[in-house]
A and B are shown apart, each in its own frame.
Chain A
């Protein structure tokens, strides 16, 4: 089974490199980096819009960290733990609703 999968994968790679058409020109020979040009000055001003995203990311990240111990203890906490976490998520859900409606996630 494993060998079969390996064979197919390698075979596909080999076949495309042998059979595929190749057109070489300058732009294409550059390393590909998400469509961005390679050589730009690293000193570009970032929009303040990134900042809001970063702050919200920190906040939701902190929210997420609380799930780790809860998930591990899920069975032992029983119904109470479930309600507890539900309340926590509900309150932060209102936060998410607010941020969303207020356009905090829009990219203008």
Chain B
């Protein structure tokens, strides 16, 4: 009789957020089958589930804790990311309730898919094994493809889903191939073991390993929508339902950055000269493509899509800086980005009505005279996205740039500052429309309470993080 096989280091407490959220997601899925057309219960359960997830994430002590054969880690980075994920998913759900009602999105799977997507995001931020990272990315991507195409009678939604799916599948192929090559040349999928293997300088020059790294960068670069792998972003952001667009711009993007950080800062720090250059090029390209592209847009969702490409460029600088300062800058940036983005998309939702979404920037003309508070909130979000003090966006950028300067990345910082200046052009364009143009048509905006609540959270977060950033910075830089 051969010995009984038993796995090592199973730690259900460390895994608690994943378990809790999966259970809630399945509960939502099953309840929807008997729930009829009333989705209030589903929304409530989803929000409770997200809250429980965030709480259960703190159950594990002491940190960092490794489990499942070193493939799952609980540390400050993952905890902070889990908080961002649950926050962004909760905001998405709040935004969706009235939007779905208005746009006739009846599918109750919507909420379950957002929760499943969040499970994938948590896994991405907590995995230190390439197989887990791959599974996480796939869960996130599949949920996003479906959420993008959930308005099945809308041509744009269908087109966006198809484009996203085809290109996304292609990018996944690159990612998987890269992982295979890295595995083939290092003999492990575990990030720590890879790092150990790479200590040996002769291992570093293996062309297969370098090829694998390049393919990994392409695959992950696609998922964070960085140039030159950004082609899908404008169309998908435009075609997806607006709450899903906001979600995509924050949660899954943050998750992909978490994976980016884990792979490159934890497995390949020894090889940083070879990937730093490549990432710098991608960062610079993203900033320029994003900002110059945004200038030419007339549709606000497309403009925000390009803006999010340029933000991917700024965030990549934090990853290139890769020090502990870099990681805390990354965390702080993602949190402030969450508030500003959800606020801005909340206003985009408010300005639309059933059948007419009013997505052109021209539709914002004269908003300040009719609805001064909404125009003011939009101004705050846009200026914060551009990086003007005293808003969160400024502190976040400042923090990334100082981390980069400490690592001697002066050129990158200069380019980034230059780009921030360019970005004001298109952010201010919307502000000019709101304050200085006459309104062409009467505003028939939908002032729905939950969306307004999200905007309020966005305003408070953006200003609070901008004026009193110290508490969060202290949390982020543990």
Contacts and interface: CB of A to CB of B under 8 A. Distances in A.
- Whether A associates with B in a native complex is yes
Interface of A: 73, 76-78, 80-81, 91, 94, 97-98, 101-102
Contact of B30 (A76, A78, A80, A94): A94
A97 B5 contact: no
A78 B6 contact: yes
A22 to B, nearest CB: 55
Given A98-B33, A102-B33, A80 B26 contact: no
B358 to A, nearest CB: 34
24 contacts: A73-B5, A76-B3, A76-B4, A76-B5, A77-B4, A77-B5, A78-B4, A78-B5, A78-B6, A80-B6, A80-B7, A81-B5, A91-B22, A91-B26, A94-B26, A94-B29, A94-B30, A97-B30, A97-B33, A98-B29, A98-B30, A98-B33, A101-B33, A102-B33
B2 interface: yes
A78 B33 CA distance: 36
Nearest to A79: B4
A51 to B, nearest CB: 14
Contacts of A78: 4-6
A87 to B, nearest CB: 10
Nearest to A102: B33
A101 B7 CA distance: 36
Contacts of B26: 91, 94
B21 to A, nearest CB: 13
Contacts of A97: 30, 33
Interface of B: 2-7, 22, 26, 29-30, 33
B29 A76 contact: no
A99 B228 CA distance: 39
Contacts of B5: 73, 76-78, 81
B320 to A, nearest CB: 38
Nearest to A81: B5
B215 to A, nearest CB: 24
Nearest to A91: B26
A94 B28 CA distance: 11
Contacts of B22: 91
Nearest to B25: A94
Contact of B2 (A76, A80, A91): A76
Nearest to B7: A80
Q: Determine which residue in B3, B5, B22 has the highest number of CB atoms from chain A within 10 A of its CB, and name it.
A: B5
Nearest to B107: A102
Contacts of B29: 94, 98
A81 B4 CA distance: 10
A80 B7 CA distance: 9
A86 to B, nearest CB: 15
Contacts of B33: 97-98, 101-102
Nearest to A94: B26
Contacts of B30: 94, 97-98
A80 B5 CA distance: 9
Contacts of A77: 4-5
B154 to A, nearest CB: 18
Contacts of B4: 76-78
Contacts of B2: 76
Nearest to B27: A94
A17 to B, nearest CB: 55
Given A73-B5, A80-B6, A98-B29, 15 more contacts: A76-B2, A76-B3, A76-B4, A76-B5, A78-B4, A80-B7, A81-B5, A91-B22, A94-B30, A97-B30, A97-B33, A98-B30, A98-B33, A101-B33, A102-B33
A2 B29 CA distance: 57
A73 B5 CA distance: 9
A97 B2 CA distance: 38
A73 B29 CA distance: 33
Contacts of A80: 6-7
Contacts of B7: 80
A85 to B, nearest CB: 13
A59 to B, nearest CB: 11
A77 B7 CA distance: 9
B39 to A, nearest CB: 15
A81 to B, nearest CB: 7
Contacts of B3: 76
A58 B22 CA distance: 23
Nearest to B26: A94
A65 to B, nearest CB: 16
A80 B12 CA distance: 14
B16 to A, nearest CB: 15
B97 to A, nearest CB: 22
A97 B5 CA distance: 32
Contacts of A98: 29-30, 33
